[in-house]
Structure 1
Amino acid sequence: MSTEIDNFKLLLFAFNCGQVPHASTEIRNAILSTIVLQQPTSQPQTSQSPIDLPDLIFLSLQELAPIYDCLLWRNEDDFLTPFIDAVTHLTGGINDGVFEHVATCSAGLAFAVLFRRVSSSLSMSNLRTSVVTLGYFETGLKGAASIRVNVSSGTLLTEITFVAAHLTANEGYREIRDHNFQDLARKFAFFTDNNVNFSKEDGTDRDFLYKDGSQVFIVGDLNYRVALPPPTPLLSQGTAIAEPGPASATADQRKLAGNYSRAPKWVAPQHSFVEDWLDYDELTISRKHAGTAFFGFDEADVTFPPTYKFDSNREYALGRVPSWCDRVLYFDMFEGGSGVKVEKYASLPELDGSDHIPVYAITRVPFKKPGPLSEQLVANLLKNNIAASTAARAQQITSRGVSLDRQVAPTAIRARQIKLQNRHIAARSGRIKNMEKLIGGLVYLVLSPAGNGILLAAVLGLVIAYVLLRTYPPGII
Structure 2
Amino acid sequence: MKRLECHSSEADCFRISLTTSNCAKQIPLGSNDYLLQRAIFERLLSAGVDYDLYAIGFQELLPIWDASCPLQTKSCLRRLVPVILQRLNSGVEDTPEVPVDRNVQHSEADSLLGSLERQAIGDTEQSTQNAWPSRQVPVSYRFVACNAIGAVGLMLFAKEDLKVEVLRTCNVRTGALGSSLKGSTAIQVQLSNSRCSQKFTFITSHFAAKEGPDKLAQRIKDYHTTMRTFDKHLDSFQDGHVFFFGDLNFRISPRQPTDLQYSDQPVIDHLLATYDELNRERTAGTVFEGFEEAKINFPPSYKYIFLQDNLNYDYTRQPSWCDRILYKNDPKRVRVHRYASIDRRSILNYTDHEPVTLDVSVSCHTQFVPMAMQNISPQSTMEMYVGDVTDILLMLFSRVYYAPTIFDLVVLTIFLCLVLLALFRLTV
TM-score range, shorter chain: 0.7 to 0.9
* Amino acid corresponding to residue 69 of structure 1 in structure 2: D
3-state SS of the aligned residue for 2:11? coil
3-state SS of the aligned residue for 1:76? helix
With over 3 angstroms needed to count, the CA separation of the structure-2 counterparts of 1:183 and 1:36, relative to structure 1, is: closer
Q: Paired residue for 1:287?
A: 282
Matched, 1:443 2:409: no
C-alpha deviations, 1:393-419, integer Å up to 9, x for none? xxxxxxxxxxxxxxxxxxxxxxxx5xx
3-state SS of the aligned residue for 1:216? strand
Q: Paired residue for 2:159?
A: 117
Distance 1:359 1:146 in 2: 18
With over 3 angstroms needed to count, the CA separation of the structure-2 counterparts of 1:189 and 1:152, relative to structure 1, is: same
Distance 1:36 1:436 in 2: 36
C-alpha deviations, 1:227-285, integer Å up to 9, x for none? 026xxxxxxxxxxxxxxxxxxxxxxx4x34xxxxxx55644xx5453442212111111
Q: Is the contact between residue 62 and residue 220 of structure 1 (CA under 8 Å) also seen in structure 2?
A: yes
With over 3 angstroms needed to count, the CA separation of the structure-2 counterparts of 1:82 and 1:277, relative to structure 1, is: farther
Distance 2:360 2:173 in 1: 28
* Amino acid corresponding to residue 250 of structure 2 in structure 1: Y
Distance 1:160 1:457 in 2: 45
Q: Paired residue for 2:319?
A: 322
Matched, 1:56 2:50: no
1:184 corresponds to which of 222, 226, 240:
226
The gaps in structure 1 that reach 5 residues or longer are 38-50, 192-205, 230-252, 257-262, 387-416, 459-477
Matched, 1:365 2:362: yes
2:11 corresponds to which of 5, 17, 22:
5
Identity %: 29
Matched, 1:222 2:251: no
| Number of equivalent positions | 344
Distance 1:349 1:445 in 2: 38
Distance 2:368 2:269 in 1: 35
Distance 1:75 1:126 in 2: 21
Matched, 1:158 2:170: no
Deviation at 1:19, TM superposition (A): 0.7
3-state SS of the aligned residue for 1:5? helix
Q: Is the contact between residue 303 and residue 314 of structure 2 (CA under 8 Å) also seen in structure 1?
A: yes
C-alpha deviations, 1:98-152, integer Å up to 9, x for none? 421111111112111111122xx32012521111110011111111000111111
Distance 1:271 1:372 in 2: 33
CA RMSD of aligned residues (A): 3.0
Q: Which has the larger helix fraction?
A: 2
Deviation at 1:89, TM superposition (A): 1.3
* Amino acid corresponding to residue 62 of structure 1 in structure 2: Q
* Amino acid corresponding to residue 208 of structure 2 in structure 1: T
Q: Paired residue for 2:176?
A: 136
3-state SS of the aligned residue for 2:281? helix
2:235 corresponds to which of 203, 207, 213:
207
Q: Paired residue for 2:7?
A: none
Distance 1:167 1:83 in 2: 24
Q: Paired residue for 2:25?
A: 19
Deviation at 1:12, TM superposition (A): 0.3
With over 3 angstroms needed to count, the CA separation of the structure-2 counterparts of 1:455 and 1:274, relative to structure 1, is: farther
Matched, 1:385 2:375: yes
Q: Is the contact between residue 129 and residue 190 of structure 1 (CA under 8 Å) also seen in structure 2?
A: no
Distance 2:236 2:217 in 1: 23
Distance 2:318 2:83 in 1: 33
TM-score by length of 2: 0.72
Q: Paired residue for 2:305?
A: 311
Deviation at 1:366, TM superposition (A): 1.3
Q: Paired residue for 2:419?
A: none
Distance 1:348 1:454 in 2: 45
With over 3 angstroms needed to count, the CA separation of the structure-2 counterparts of 1:86 and 1:98, relative to structure 1, is: farther
With over 3 angstroms needed to count, the CA separation of the structure-2 counterparts of 1:89 and 1:313, relative to structure 1, is: closer
Deviation at 1:363, TM superposition (A): 0.7
Distance 2:390 2:186 in 1: 22
The gaps in structure 2 that reach 5 residues or longer are 1-9, 92-136, 411-428
* Amino acid corresponding to residue 445 of structure 1 in structure 2: V
Q: Paired residue for 1:87?
A: 84
Distance 2:361 2:242 in 1: 13
C-alpha deviations, 1:11-45, integer Å up to 9, x for none? 101011111123554454454456659xxxxxxxx
Residues 350-429 of structure 1 mapped to structure 2, 5 A cutoff = 350=344, 351-368=348-365, 370-373=366-369, 380-381=372-373, 384-385=374-375, 420=378, 423-424=380-381, 427-428=383-384
Give every structure 1 segment of 4 or more consecutive aligned residues whose post-TM-superposition deviation is greater than 6 Å.
Answer: 453-458
With over 3 angstroms needed to count, the CA separation of the structure-2 counterparts of 1:63 and 1:271, relative to structure 1, is: closer
Matched, 1:99 2:141: yes
* Amino acid corresponding to residue 5 of structure 1 in structure 2: A
Q: Paired residue for 2:107?
A: none
Distance 2:200 2:230 in 1: 15
* Amino acid corresponding to residue 21 of structure 2 in structure 1: F
Distance 1:90 1:161 in 2: 24
